[in-house]
Structures are given as C-alpha cells and as structure tokens.
Amino acid sequence: IAGITQAPTSQILAAGRRMTLRCTQDMRHNAMYWYRQDLGLGLRLIHYSNTAGTTGKGEVPDGYSVSRANTDDFPLTLASAVPSQTSVYFCASSESGTGELFFGEGSRLTVL
Amino acid sequence: GQNIDQPTEMTATEGAIVQINCTYQTSGFNGLFWYQQHAGEAPTFLSYNVLDGLEEKGRFSSFLSRSKGYSYLLLKELQMKDSASYLCAVRDSNYQLIWGAGTKLIIKP
C-alpha cells in the first residue's frame, strides 16, 4: 500500500449500532485527522492526533472517539450511530501538522 | 466566528481562464491552501500561500493578500479534467485548518 488506506469504502448501518472506520498510513506521518464532509459544508474536523499516543477534539467530536496506539493507525469509532452521522468520512495525515494534508479515499457511511 | 467564503459553482469553457475567489475571516493566519476534489474522490493538494503574492505552478496559480483576507486560484488553458470542486482552507492561530464549502467548477466544451 502507498499513502492512506481507509476501510470500509462504504457501509450502511442501523441506528444504535457500533461502527469503527479504519485508517492506516504508510508514510510515517506524525499527524493524523478525521474529517466529515457533508453537502454544502466545508470539511469539518472530528478528531486529530499530533503524534502517536495523543489525540484531540476537533470541531464536531460528539458521538465519535479515536485512538492512536501507533504511528500508522488511527481508527474512528461511532459508539452508537445516529442518522445525523450519515456522511463521507475522510482520514488524512501530514508530516508535521503544519504542511499539506494527504487524504484517504473516504468512507461513505449511511445510518438508517 | 471563523468563516471562509467561496462561490458555490462556476462554469467556464475549455481552453479559457477562470479565477476562483476565496475570502476569509479567521482568528490568526498561518497559511492558505487550495485543494482539488473530483466527484467521489479525495481532496488533493494544489497550492500553499503564506506570504502575499502570486505562486505559479504550471497551469495553476494562487494569489494571497493577507491584508484583505483574500485569495484566488487561477486556472489557465482549462481542460475537461479540471471539472472538480476546489476547496480553500486557512490555517488559523491554533494551526487548525478552517475549510470553505468548495467551489464546483464545470467545464463546457
């Protein structure tokens, strides 16, 4: 693999179910991010991690959690999915946290 | 509050030139980015401006005026493959990226 890999690509989920979106990068970047993208809105930051072992809340963190056990992996968990979490989720990374972002291909999540 | 404004949609003709504007109001400024996003795909980096002036990269150029809170992306010799959304993002004083909603550019033959 090269770059950032997200899984699943697409998922339909019943409300109330738990879901984890996976994100793995092979660029050894320190900083990683989870965004959601909704029609008519800019990308909104959910959670971020500046380095392995640390995480922080973004603009819209409620209902989501993350972990950063190592440099490469940054999973996003929805503990109990709700319809308003229907969105396209992008994982991204950057080398230093101040440079350009590299994005995964996105995970399209539909919560019914 | 923090705000990034871009036109929602623009239309241009193949071979022509188009300018996509972005105005911003943020708490501090640590650089402005432009990204391209084709439908159903991930955003990809186009340009970065931190100082006033024009940055040229092939057919694409990006301009920044920090005093005016203004940037534009200039696309020359438009090709059909340039049909995409163009996202403007500003890094604020906390080094967080604030994103505009994007400008959908439609190229007509």
SS (H, E, C) chain A: CCCEEEECCEEEECCCCCEEEEEEECCCCCEEEEEEECCCCCCEEEEEECCCCCCEECCCCCCEEECCCCCCECCEEECCCCHHHCEEEEEEEECCCCCCCEECCCEEEEEC
Residue A90 to residue B98, Cβ atoms within 8 A? no
Share of chain B above pLDDT 70, in %: 100
Chain B partners within 8 Å of A45 (Cβ): 96-97
Which amino acid, one-letter code, is at B80? Answer: M
Residue B2: what pLDDT? 84
- pLDDT grade for B1, boundaries at 50, 70 and 90: confident
Among partner residues B30, B35, B101, which is closest to A40 by beta-carbon distance? B101
Structure tokens at B109: 């033959």
Chain B partners within 8 Å of A41 (Cβ): 101
- pLDDT grade for B94, boundaries at 50, 70 and 90: confident
